[in-house]
Structure 1
Amino acid sequence: MAVFAQCVRKRTRRLAPPVMALALFLPAFAFAQTGDLAPPPSDAVPLPDPIMRPATPDPDNPLAPPGGSQGGVLQSAEPIIGGSVEDLPVPVQRMRSLIMEAARNADFEALRPLIGTGQNRTQLSFGVVDGDPIEYIRSQSGDPEGYEILAILHEVLEADYAIYDPGTPNEFFVWPYFMATSLETLTPVQRVELFKLLTAGDYENMREFGAYIFYRVGITPDGRWRFFVAGD
Structure 2
Amino acid sequence: MRRANLVISAAAFGVALLTAANALAFSQIEPTEGRSDSKEGILAVPLPPLPSADAGANRPAPPADDDGQNDDGPGRTDDGETPLPPAEEPESGIGDESHPPSARGGMELAVPLATEIAYGDDGLPAPVRYLREKLIAIAKAGEIEKLRPYIESGEDGTVLSFGDVAGDPIEFLKQTSGDGQGLEILAILRELLEAGHVRVEPGADDEIYVWPYFTQVAIDSLSKPQLVELFELVTAGDYEQMKEFGAYNFYRLGISPEGRLSFFVAGD
Bucket of the pairwise TM-score, normalised by the shorter protein: 0.5 to 0.7
**Structure 1 residue 101, shift from structure 2 partner:** 1.0
SS at match of 1:48: coil
Instruction: Write the letter of the residue equivalent to 1:114.
Output: Y
Residue 132 of structure 1 deviates from its aligned partner by 0.5
| 1:223 counterpart = 2:259 | yes
Q: Find 1:203's aligned residue among 227, 239, 248.
A: 239
Q: Which residue of 2 is the match for residue 48 of structure 1?
A: 110
Match of 1:126 among 132, 142, 162: 162
Within 5 Å, give how 1:58-77 maps onto structure 2. none
Structure 1 counterpart SS, 2:170: helix
- More moved, 116-125 vs 205-214: 116-125
**RMSD over aligned Cα atoms:** 1.5
CA displacement at 1:148 relative to structure 2: 0.8
Aligned length: 160
Q: In 2 relative to 1, CA 83–49 (structure 1 residues): closer, same or farther, beyond 3 Å?
A: closer
Residues 165 and 172, structure 1, Cα contact 8 Å, conserved in 2: yes
Aligned to 1:164: 200
2:115 aligned residue (73, 80, 86): 80
Structure 1: how far apart are the matches of 2:152 and 2:180? Answer: 24
C-alpha separation between the residues in 2 aligned to 1:115 and 1:133?
8
For 2:131, the equivalent position in structure 1 comes to 95
Q: Distance in 2 between matches of 1:93 and 1:119?
A: 25
How do 1:167-178 residues align onto structure 2 when only pairs under 5 Å count? 167-178=203-214
Deviation of 1:122 after TM superposition, in Å, equals 1.0
One-letter amino acid matched to 1:180: Q
Unaligned runs of 5+ in 1: 1-45, 51-77
When Rg is computed on C-alpha atoms for both structures, the one with the higher figure is 2
Identity rate, percent: 50
Which stretches of structure 1, 4 residues or more, deviate above 6 A after TM superposition?
A: none
- Equivalent position of 1:57 in the other structure: none
1:81–1:177 contact (8 Å) kept in structure 2: no
**8 Å CA contact 2:139, 2:187 repeated in 1:** yes
CA shift digits 1:46-65 (9 cap, x unpaired)? 73145xxxxxxxxxxxxxxx
SS of the equivalent of 1:87 reads coil
Indicate the residue corresponding to 2:223 in structure 1: 187
Cα deviation for residue 83 of structure 1 reads 2.6
SS in 1 for 2:253: strand
